[in-house]
Every structure is written in structure tokens, then in C-alpha cells.
Amino acid sequence: MPKGIMADTMEKNQKNRPLLIAGPCIIESSELAHQIAKEVQAIAEKFGMHPIFKGSYQKANRTSHGSFTGIGRKEALEILRSVRDTGMQVITDVHETTDVTEVADYVTHLQVPAFLCRQTDLILKCSDSGLPTNIKKGQFLSPEACKFVADKFRSGKGKEVWMCERGFSFGYNDLIVDATCIPRIKEAAQCPVILDCTHSLQKPNRSNGTSGGNPDLVGTLAKFAFATGADGLFIEVHPNPKSSASDSESILELGKLEQVIEAAMRIYNAS
């Protein structure tokens, strides 16, 4: 689909339906990616959401040097393209300006990780790609400072930008989601806001070299998101979280996603 038409289609979809950005933390295999994508699409469409399959082709931000970073750049990107070729929209992280041109040929959306949300060159490169971009708000950034992040993006060629809230650092190993954050980001950045229901529950940088989490509370944050005006949800899912190659302690079991979305959409439809 031409980028201009795709952007127009996304703008229309976004006005009418909340977004569901969901998938595994990292691409592990073609079979798993297509299984998850099919289920995410079915659940989103059942409850009136717009689905986008999420999968990282490579993980650059790992607690330990021994943590899994991917199955291989080219293989993972080809899997993302194969999901895109089914007609589903696909988003993945980019970490450096040199990634953007290559990755844009495989997906429909780009994502800037939270730890890179102030990287001007990267944000401008994403903007100039013409692809809608989800920028995760750093755990160190105020809601009001999101204005400058979104303005950077809009100063380039791109116009379709979202901010993604994922909690504020609280002490060394915890995150807090502020109940006022979503409307404050929307007011400051003047763009749609997504709540990352997975990483907002992380327990980062633990002494064992991994990040923990609390997936049992993903449903609570999903309802909270729509109660406070979010435009969509970001949720990492896996059929068997314990076997996930990345973020196994924070990822939601795929079989529980429908229940989470059903409850959250009751809040959305009542708002």
C-alpha cells in the first residue's frame, strides 16, 4: 500500500477505533509470529479495535550482556514482512538512524524505544520515512516534555505520531503510572496516546540481570488506560510466557488477552 494512502487509512481508523498494538516481545519464529498475529487480529476485530502486530526484530536494550537479542536481523525482518503481507499492519523498534531506511521496507509502522525518545536524529529519520511512528515516553520524561518530542517528529516530513506512556521511574526497581499522565500528554503533545500495559508493570534492572514484571495487572492498566482517555493499548503477549525468549516475567499469556480486551472495551464504550 502506498505510504500516503496508508497514512490516510490509519487516520480514519484511528478516529473510529482504539488501537491494539500486541505481539511477542521479540520475533522467535515464523510459526509463532503468525499464530499470535492471527489471534490478536481476531480479538481486536471482535471488540472493535484496530490491530497492529508488534514484534522486535532485534533487542538493543538488555539488562545483561548475556540476554537474548534475536534470531538474526534478516530472518526476523522477513518474518515481519510475511505478517504484513497477510494484510495486517506491523510495528517494530528502530534503534539507530541507519536502521530506519532498511526496516521501513518490512513494516507499516515504526517505534522508538523509551530510552531513545530524546534522540533527535532518530526521531527525524523516522518522520522522514513517512511511516506512522509510536514514540515511547522515557521513564525520566514529564508528560509536558512530550510536546518537544512530538514537535521534533512533526518538524520533519511525517505527521502521524503517537506517544506511548510506560510509567515513571520510582526508586531503583519499580515504575509508577500516574493517573493524570495520559490527558497531560495529550494536551502537551497534541497527538494520540497509547498506554504500554506491559512495560508499565516491569521491575527493571534487578540484581540477577533480568527485568521482572506483573502480568496479572495488565487488565487493570488496560481499563485504567481507557478510563483516562487513552487512544490505544500496547500489550506484549505469548502463548507460553515462561518459554518466551525475552521478558518472560512480564509478558501476558495470549489466552488471557481476550478477557483483558473485553473488560477494557466496556470502559472505552462507556466513556
CATH value at residue 156: 3.20.20.70
pLDDT means per 10 residues, the chain with 271 residues, are: 43 71 96 98 98 91 61 94 98 96 97 96 98 96 97 96 94 87 98 96 66 86 98 96 76 97 97 83
- Structural domain for 83, as ranges: 3-7+16-270
Question: What pLDDT, on the 0 to 100 scale, is given for residue 68?
Answer: 59
What phi and psi, each to the nearest 5 degrees, are found at residue 236?
A: -85, 135
* Chain-centre distance for alpha carbon 54: 7
Torsion angle (degrees, nearest 10) of CA 204, 134, 85, 70: -30
Rounded distance, CA 168 to CA 71, Å? 31
Rounded distance, CA 20 to CA 40, Å? 8
Question: What pLDDT, on the 0 to 100 scale, is given for residue 248?
Answer: 66
Question: What pLDDT, on the 0 to 100 scale, is given for residue 5?
Answer: 37
Question: What pLDDT, on the 0 to 100 scale, is given for residue 202?
Answer: 82
Q: How many domains would you assign to the chain?
A: 1
Rounded distance, CA 205 to CA 211, Å? 6
Pairing of strands 168-169, 161-165: unpaired
Instruction: Give the pTM.
Output: 0.89
Rounded distance, CA 195 to CA 164, Å? 6
Contact (CB, 8 A) for 89 and 80: no
Q: Cβ-count burial of 142 within 10 angstroms (0-12 exposed, 13-18 middle, 19+ buried)?
A: middle
Nearest CA among 237, 224, 217 for reference residue 41: 237
For residue 183, what are the contacts with CB-CB under 8 A and spacing of at least 6?
228, 229
